[in-house]
Protein backbone atom coordinates (compact mmCIF):
# COMPACT_ATOMS: atom_id res chain seq x y z
CA UNK A 1 0.00 0.00 0.00
CA UNK A 2 1.26 3.47 -0.91
CA UNK A 3 0.21 6.97 0.09
CA UNK A 4 -1.02 9.31 -2.62
CA UNK A 5 0.69 12.56 -3.56
CA UNK A 6 -2.21 14.38 -1.93
CA UNK A 7 -1.55 12.56 1.35
CA UNK A 8 2.13 13.42 1.16
CA UNK A 9 1.47 17.09 0.37
CA UNK A 10 -0.82 17.38 3.39
CA UNK A 11 1.83 15.57 5.44
CA UNK A 12 4.49 18.03 4.29
CA UNK A 13 2.37 20.96 5.39
CA UNK A 14 1.55 19.33 8.72
CA UNK A 15 -2.14 18.94 7.95
CA UNK A 16 -2.32 15.16 7.63
CA UNK A 17 -4.50 13.31 10.10
CA UNK A 18 -2.27 10.22 9.62
CA UNK A 19 1.01 11.80 10.52
CA UNK A 20 2.36 9.00 12.73
CA UNK A 21 1.44 6.30 10.21
CA UNK A 22 3.10 8.17 7.34
CA UNK A 23 6.20 8.78 9.48
CA UNK A 24 6.62 5.04 9.91
CA UNK A 25 5.70 4.21 6.32
CA UNK A 26 8.29 6.55 4.80
CA UNK A 27 11.05 4.72 6.63
CA UNK A 28 10.14 1.40 5.06
CA UNK A 29 8.64 2.29 1.65
CA UNK A 30 11.10 3.37 -1.03
CA UNK A 31 8.38 4.43 -3.51
CA UNK A 32 6.64 6.77 -1.10
CA UNK A 33 9.94 8.01 0.28
CA UNK A 34 11.11 8.96 -3.23
CA UNK A 35 7.82 10.68 -4.02
CA UNK A 36 8.00 12.59 -0.75
CA UNK A 37 11.59 13.66 -1.37
CA UNK A 38 10.56 15.02 -4.77
CA UNK A 39 7.82 17.07 -3.15
CA UNK A 40 10.22 18.34 -0.50
CA UNK A 41 12.90 19.34 -3.02
CA UNK A 42 10.34 20.94 -5.35
CA UNK A 43 8.99 23.10 -2.56
CA UNK A 44 12.52 23.93 -1.38
CA UNK A 45 13.28 25.06 -4.92
CA UNK A 46 10.22 27.30 -4.97
CA UNK A 47 11.42 28.77 -1.66
CA UNK A 48 9.87 31.80 -0.05
CA UNK A 49 10.18 35.21 -1.70
CA UNK A 50 12.11 37.79 0.23
CA UNK A 51 9.64 40.63 0.60
CA UNK A 52 11.13 44.09 -0.05
CA UNK A 53 11.09 46.21 3.08
CA UNK A 54 8.62 49.02 3.48
CA UNK A 55 9.35 51.57 6.18
CA UNK A 56 6.95 53.23 8.61
CA UNK A 57 6.10 56.01 6.17
CA UNK A 58 4.79 53.54 3.63
CA UNK A 59 1.21 53.75 4.91
CA UNK A 60 1.23 57.50 4.42
CA UNK A 61 2.64 57.08 0.92
CA UNK A 62 -0.18 54.69 0.04
CA UNK A 63 -2.69 57.14 1.45
CA UNK A 64 -1.25 59.98 -0.64
CA UNK A 65 -1.63 57.84 -3.74
CA UNK A 66 -5.24 56.85 -3.14
CA UNK A 67 -6.74 59.79 -1.27
CA UNK A 68 -7.99 61.52 -4.43
CA UNK A 69 -9.31 58.29 -5.91
CA UNK A 70 -11.62 57.25 -3.06
CA UNK A 71 -14.86 55.91 -4.57
CA UNK A 72 -18.38 56.45 -3.29
CA UNK A 73 -19.10 54.09 -0.40
CA UNK A 74 -21.77 51.50 -1.00
CA UNK A 75 -24.60 51.35 1.52
CA UNK A 76 -24.46 48.68 4.20
CA UNK A 77 -26.33 45.38 3.72
CA UNK A 78 -29.25 46.39 5.90
CA UNK A 79 -29.65 49.63 3.98
CA UNK A 80 -29.46 47.77 0.68
CA UNK A 81 -32.41 45.71 1.91
CA UNK A 82 -34.29 48.51 3.64
CA UNK A 83 -34.06 51.11 0.89
CA UNK A 84 -35.84 49.05 -1.76
CA UNK A 85 -38.43 48.01 0.83
CA UNK A 86 -39.12 51.63 1.76
CA UNK A 87 -39.01 52.67 -1.86
CA UNK A 88 -41.52 49.94 -2.70
CA UNK A 89 -43.86 51.22 0.01
CA UNK A 90 -43.57 54.79 -1.27
CA UNK A 91 -44.03 53.65 -4.85
CA UNK A 92 -47.11 51.66 -3.92
CA UNK A 93 -48.65 54.75 -2.36
CA UNK A 94 -47.72 56.92 -5.34
CA UNK A 95 -48.92 54.37 -7.86
CA UNK A 96 -52.20 53.94 -6.02
CA UNK A 97 -52.69 57.67 -6.09
CA UNK A 98 -51.82 57.73 -9.76
CA UNK A 99 -54.16 54.92 -10.67
CA UNK A 100 -56.97 56.77 -9.00
CA UNK A 101 -56.42 59.46 -11.60
CA UNK A 102 -54.91 62.18 -9.48
CA UNK A 103 -51.44 62.27 -10.95
CA UNK A 104 -50.23 63.09 -14.43
CA UNK A 105 -51.83 66.32 -15.69
CA UNK A 106 -52.90 64.71 -18.96
CA UNK A 107 -55.44 62.63 -17.13
CA UNK A 108 -56.81 65.31 -14.91
CA UNK A 109 -60.21 66.89 -15.17
CA UNK A 110 -59.82 69.74 -12.70
CA UNK A 111 -62.80 71.54 -11.28
CA UNK A 112 -62.92 75.03 -12.84
CA UNK A 113 -62.98 76.85 -9.55
CA UNK A 114 -59.63 75.39 -8.34
CA UNK A 115 -57.80 74.70 -11.62
CA UNK A 116 -54.69 76.77 -10.84
CA UNK A 117 -54.19 75.25 -7.39
CA UNK A 118 -54.70 71.72 -8.68
CA UNK A 119 -52.22 72.27 -11.51
CA UNK A 120 -49.56 73.35 -9.05
CA UNK A 121 -50.25 70.39 -6.79
CA UNK A 122 -50.17 68.00 -9.73
CA UNK A 123 -46.89 69.47 -10.97
CA UNK A 124 -45.38 69.07 -7.50
CA UNK A 125 -46.52 65.47 -7.31
CA UNK A 126 -45.09 64.81 -10.75
CA UNK A 127 -41.73 66.15 -9.68
CA UNK A 128 -41.80 63.86 -6.65
CA UNK A 129 -42.54 60.89 -8.86
CA UNK A 130 -39.82 61.87 -11.33
CA UNK A 131 -37.35 62.08 -8.48
CA UNK A 132 -38.41 58.67 -7.14
CA UNK A 133 -38.05 57.01 -10.54
CA UNK A 134 -34.74 58.81 -11.07
CA UNK A 135 -33.45 57.44 -7.75
CA UNK A 136 -34.67 53.97 -8.66
CA UNK A 137 -32.87 54.10 -12.01
CA UNK A 138 -29.72 55.41 -10.38
CA UNK A 139 -29.69 52.57 -7.86
CA UNK A 140 -30.47 49.99 -10.53
CA UNK A 141 -27.61 51.33 -12.64
CA UNK A 142 -25.21 51.00 -9.71
CA UNK A 143 -26.32 47.44 -8.99
CA UNK A 144 -26.01 46.42 -12.65
CA UNK A 145 -22.57 48.01 -12.89
CA UNK A 146 -21.45 46.17 -9.78
CA UNK A 147 -22.85 42.96 -11.23
CA UNK A 148 -21.09 43.21 -14.59
CA UNK A 149 -17.84 44.18 -12.87
CA UNK A 150 -17.84 41.03 -10.75
CA UNK A 151 -14.83 38.82 -11.34
CA UNK A 152 -13.38 35.43 -10.50
CA UNK A 153 -13.38 31.85 -11.69
CA UNK A 154 -16.74 31.32 -10.05
CA UNK A 155 -18.68 34.54 -9.56
CA UNK A 156 -21.02 34.36 -6.57
CA UNK A 157 -23.83 36.85 -7.25
CA UNK A 158 -26.23 35.70 -4.52
CA UNK A 159 -25.92 39.02 -2.63
CA UNK A 160 -26.67 41.05 -5.74
CA UNK A 161 -29.64 38.78 -6.53
CA UNK A 162 -31.31 39.74 -3.25
CA UNK A 163 -30.99 43.44 -4.04
CA UNK A 164 -32.09 42.88 -7.62
CA UNK A 165 -35.22 40.98 -6.51
CA UNK A 166 -36.28 44.03 -4.48
CA UNK A 167 -35.58 46.30 -7.43
CA UNK A 168 -37.81 44.16 -9.66
CA UNK A 169 -40.86 44.79 -7.45
CA UNK A 170 -40.21 48.52 -7.32
CA UNK A 171 -39.53 48.65 -11.05
CA UNK A 172 -42.83 46.92 -11.87
CA UNK A 173 -44.85 49.51 -9.98
CA UNK A 174 -43.08 52.40 -11.68
CA UNK A 175 -43.49 50.77 -15.10
CA UNK A 176 -47.25 50.34 -14.59
CA UNK A 177 -47.50 53.97 -13.53
CA UNK A 178 -45.55 55.17 -16.56
CA UNK A 179 -47.63 53.01 -18.95
CA UNK A 180 -50.88 54.35 -17.56
CA UNK A 181 -49.56 57.88 -17.95
CA UNK A 182 -48.65 57.17 -21.56
CA UNK A 183 -45.00 58.04 -20.95
CA UNK A 184 -43.53 55.63 -23.48
CA UNK A 185 -39.90 56.63 -22.99
CA UNK A 186 -39.91 55.94 -19.28
CA UNK A 187 -42.05 52.82 -19.67
CA UNK A 188 -39.78 51.40 -22.37
CA UNK A 189 -36.58 51.79 -20.36
CA UNK A 190 -38.27 50.40 -17.24
CA UNK A 191 -39.60 47.46 -19.24
CA UNK A 192 -36.18 46.57 -20.56
CA UNK A 193 -34.61 47.10 -17.16
CA UNK A 194 -37.19 44.83 -15.57
CA UNK A 195 -36.46 41.98 -17.98
CA UNK A 196 -32.74 42.26 -17.24
CA UNK A 197 -33.32 42.44 -13.49
CA UNK A 198 -35.60 39.41 -13.65
CA UNK A 199 -33.01 37.48 -15.61
CA UNK A 200 -30.41 38.19 -12.94
CA UNK A 201 -32.74 37.58 -9.98
CA UNK A 202 -33.94 34.24 -11.35
CA UNK A 203 -30.61 33.15 -12.76
CA UNK A 204 -27.98 30.93 -11.13
CA UNK A 205 -26.35 32.34 -8.00
CA UNK A 206 -22.92 31.32 -9.27
CA UNK A 207 -21.82 32.29 -12.75
CA UNK A 208 -18.89 31.19 -14.84
CA UNK A 209 -16.85 33.97 -16.46
CA UNK A 210 -18.40 32.96 -19.81
CA UNK A 211 -21.96 33.31 -18.47
CA UNK A 212 -21.11 36.68 -16.95
CA UNK A 213 -19.58 37.77 -20.23
CA UNK A 214 -22.81 36.81 -22.01
CA UNK A 215 -24.83 39.04 -19.66
CA UNK A 216 -22.34 41.84 -20.22
CA UNK A 217 -22.64 41.44 -23.98
CA UNK A 218 -26.45 41.62 -23.83
CA UNK A 219 -26.31 44.74 -21.68
CA UNK A 220 -23.80 46.34 -24.02
CA UNK A 221 -25.86 45.47 -27.08
CA UNK A 222 -28.96 47.09 -25.60
CA UNK A 223 -26.92 50.04 -24.25
CA UNK A 224 -29.11 49.58 -21.19
CA UNK A 225 -26.72 51.04 -18.63
CA UNK A 226 -26.28 54.13 -20.77
CA UNK A 227 -30.02 54.57 -21.27
CA UNK A 228 -30.70 54.07 -17.57
CA UNK A 229 -28.15 56.73 -16.70
CA UNK A 230 -29.44 59.24 -19.26
CA UNK A 231 -33.05 58.80 -18.16
CA UNK A 232 -32.09 59.03 -14.50
CA UNK A 233 -30.33 62.36 -15.18
CA UNK A 234 -33.31 63.62 -17.17
CA UNK A 235 -35.76 62.76 -14.42
CA UNK A 236 -33.60 64.45 -11.80
CA UNK A 237 -33.56 67.55 -14.02
CA UNK A 238 -37.34 67.46 -14.16
CA UNK A 239 -37.27 67.33 -10.39
CA UNK A 240 -35.54 70.70 -10.12
CA UNK A 241 -36.93 72.36 -13.27
CA UNK A 242 -40.13 74.45 -13.20
CA UNK A 243 -43.20 72.37 -13.97
CA UNK A 244 -43.72 71.85 -17.71
CA UNK A 245 -46.11 69.80 -19.71
CA UNK A 246 -44.82 66.24 -19.86
CA UNK A 247 -43.33 65.17 -23.15
CA UNK A 248 -44.49 61.91 -24.54
CA UNK A 249 -42.13 60.35 -27.08
Partner 1 sequence: MTVSDVPATVLARARKGDSEAFRELVEQHSRSAFRLAYRMTRNEQDAEDVVQESFLRAYRHLGRFEARSHFGTWLYRIVANCAVEHVRTRLSRQNRAPMEPIDNLAPPSDSPGPDRLAESSNVRERVDAALDGLSPLERAAFTLRHDEGRSIDEIGRTLGLGKSAAKHAVFRAVKKLRVELSGIRDKGLGIGA
Residues found near partner 1 in the complex (CB under 8 A): 5-6, 9-10, 13, 15, 38-39, 41-52, 54, 58-63, 65-67, 69-77, 79, 151-153, 156
SS (H, E, C) the chain: CCCCHHHHHHHHCCCCCCHHHHHHHHHHCHHHHHHHHHHHHHHHHHCCCCCCCCCCCHHHHHHHHHHHHCCCCCCCHHHHHHHHHHHHHHHHHHHHHHHHHHCCHHHCCCCHHHHHHHHHHHHHHHHHHHHHHHHHHHHHHHHHHHHHCCCCCCEECHHHHHHHHHHHHHHHHHHHHHHHHCCHHHHHHHHHHHHHHHHHHCCCCEECHHHHHHHHHHHHHHCHHHHHHHHHHHHHHHHHCCCCCCCCC
**Shortest separation between residue 87's beta carbon and partner 1, angstroms:** 18
* Cα distances (Å, whole numbers) of residue 93 to 102, 129, 190: 12, 11, 19
- Please say which residue, 101 or 152, places its beta carbon nearer to partner 1: 152
Nearest CB to partner 1, comparing residues 22 and 178: 22
Nearer to partner 1, 42 or 114 (CB): 42
Tell me the closest approach of the beta carbon of residue 86 to partner 1, in angstroms: 17
Q: How far is the CB of 74 from partner 1 (least distance, A)?
A: 6
Residue (65 or 247) nearer to partner 1, CB: 65
The nearest distance, CB 1 to partner 1, in angstroms, is 20
**Nearest approach, Cβ of residue 151 and partner 1 (Å):** 5
Q: Closer CB to partner 1, residue 10 or residue 123?
A: 10
User: Shortest approach of partner 1 to residue 110 CB, angstroms?
Assistant: 45
Whose Cβ is closer to partner 1: residue 86's or residue 93's?
86
Amino acid sequence: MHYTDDDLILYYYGESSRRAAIDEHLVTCGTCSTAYQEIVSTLALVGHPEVPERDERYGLEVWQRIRHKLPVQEPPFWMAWLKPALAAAVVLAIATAFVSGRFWPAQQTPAPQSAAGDDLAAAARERVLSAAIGDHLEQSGRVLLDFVNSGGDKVDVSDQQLTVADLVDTNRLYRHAAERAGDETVASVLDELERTLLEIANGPSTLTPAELEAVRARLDAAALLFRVRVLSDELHEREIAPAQPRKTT
